[in-house]
Amino acid sequence: MLWPDNKKFAFTIIDDTDNSYVENVKPIYDLLYTLKMRTTKTCWVYPPRDSFTGHSLSNEGYRNFVLDLAKKGFELALHNVGSGAFNREEILRGIELFKDFTGDYPLMQINHANNPDNLYWGSERYTGFTKFLIKIIYGNKRSYYGSDINSPYFWGDVSKNHIKYIRNHTFNGINTLNYDPQMPYRAKKKNEFSNYWFSSSDGHTVEEFNNLISSKNVNELVASGGLCIVYTHFASGFVNGNGVVDCTFEMQLRNLSQKEGWFVPASEILDYLLTQKKEPEFVSQFYQACLDVRWMFDRVFKKIKMGR
């Protein structure tokens, strides 16, 4: 892959807003800004109404922090309008509030946990054998209704109009393109209420993130001219109670920043990938099934290695 400005590889981060407060994530963003690495931060519009914690754009202090990130070149994405059950009226109002607060509609949506308004989630997320297996394990009852026009949680029409990218699979390896070389892609059976889908690499907690960006892995990424889109939760152990960034994470991130990488937000990278695409508009069901199966094996391996 040829990257802009003759960069040798591309690297970015998508930070899940679960349990996020200014105190436990700001030191990370201060570090990223110092290292000239612009990344993507997801946000809620409303406070959580379930077991999850964290601030939202409704909190003035947190909103000011997030808007300052946007001024510095970071991307703001949506992690549903909030954590929990929100009906269509609340969702539509939340999308408009996002625009009022930030100046733009979100380009990216990341489905959150078990929110009933998730788009094409649960068994709808998969195809072929994996879809069949998921239905056997979890039953055939539908749990996610963002694309169900008859549901009070439906907002697929708004997603189609404003959301360009939705994340699907997350894999264990550092070179995300090795797993999903056709991303961002369109899926025909999901096209009515979505646009493009993409994959990411798993850096869920600080331990997993540090394993992912080890010197060995980074050197392989650089040598291959690859792309890493890390999906993580900066609120998961990256900063201690005294506001100090995990030392291993900081050391490895500083080392990574010295490489000749293209360090821009996720949507900017995905936009660039679209300009390089020559394949048909929709990926095949076989391609999607291969992603599903590879994802399933990665989940099993992670369960064995990380215990979750």
> Is residue 303 over pLDDT 90?
no
> Is residue 238 over pLDDT 80?
yes
pLDDT at 89: 98
For the chain, give the mean pLDDT: 95
> Cis omega before residue 27 (within 30°)?
no
> Is residue 12 over pLDDT 80?
yes
In terms of DSSP H, where are the helices of the chain? 22-34, 60-71, 88-102, 128-138, 156-162, 176-179, 206-212, 215-224, 247-257, 266-275, 285-306
Count the alpha carbons within 13 Å of 122 in the hemisphere toward its beta carbon: 20
CATH architecture assigned to 4-306: Alpha-Beta Barrel (3.20)
pLDDT band for 138, please (50, 70, 90 cuts): low
Q: What distances in angstroms separate CA 297 from CA 183, 185, 220, one per listed residue?
A: 20, 22, 22
Please state, as a whole number, how many other Cβ atoms lie within 10 Å of the Cβ of residue 182: 19
Mean pLDDT of 231-250: 97
What is the rounded CA–CA span in Å between residue 12 and residue 56? 23
C-beta pairs of 214-220 under 8 Å, 24+ apart in sequence: 214/252, 215/252, 215/255, 217/174, 218/174, 218/252, 218/255, 218/256, 218/259, 220/174, 220/175
Tokens encoding 105: 């509609």
pLDDT band for 135, please (50, 70, 90 cuts): confident
pLDDT band for 304, please (50, 70, 90 cuts): confident
Mean pLDDT of 150-172: 98
Tokens encoding 129: 């054998």
Alpha-carbon torsion (132, 18, 37, 247), positive or negative: negative
pLDDT at 231: 98
What is the rounded CA–CA span in Å between residue 185 and residue 79? 20
Mean pLDDT of 79-92: 98
> Is residue 195 over pLDDT 70?
yes
Which carries the bigger pLDDT value, residue 231 or residue 279? 231
pLDDT band for 193, please (50, 70, 90 cuts): very high
State whether residue 266 is helix, strand or coil: helix
Please state, as a whole number, how many other Cβ atoms lie within 10 Å of the Cβ of residue 145: 23
pLDDT at 277: 87
Rounded to the nearest 5°, which phi and psi values hold at 14?
A: -115, 120
Of 172-181, 218-227, 292-301, minimum mean pLDDT range: 292-301
Of 23-32, 140-149, 219-228, minimum mean pLDDT range: 140-149
**Tokens 């290292």 belong to residue:** 35
Report the percentage of the chain scoring pLDDT > 70.
Answer: 98
Nearest by Cα to 106 from 127, 137, 75, 133: 75
Tokens encoding 204: 């869920």
Let me know the angle formed at the C-alpha of 37 by 34 and 39, rounded to the nearest 5 degrees. Answer: 125
pLDDT band for 281, please (50, 70, 90 cuts): confident
> Is residue 220 over pLDDT 70?
yes
Give 63: exposed, middle or buried? Use CB within 10 Å, 0-12, 13-18, 19+. Answer: middle
pLDDT at 156: 98
pLDDT at 305: 78
Tokens encoding 295: 């994802």
pLDDT band for 140, please (50, 70, 90 cuts): low
Rounded to the nearest 5°, which phi and psi values hold at 204?
A: -50, -50
pLDDT at 131: 79
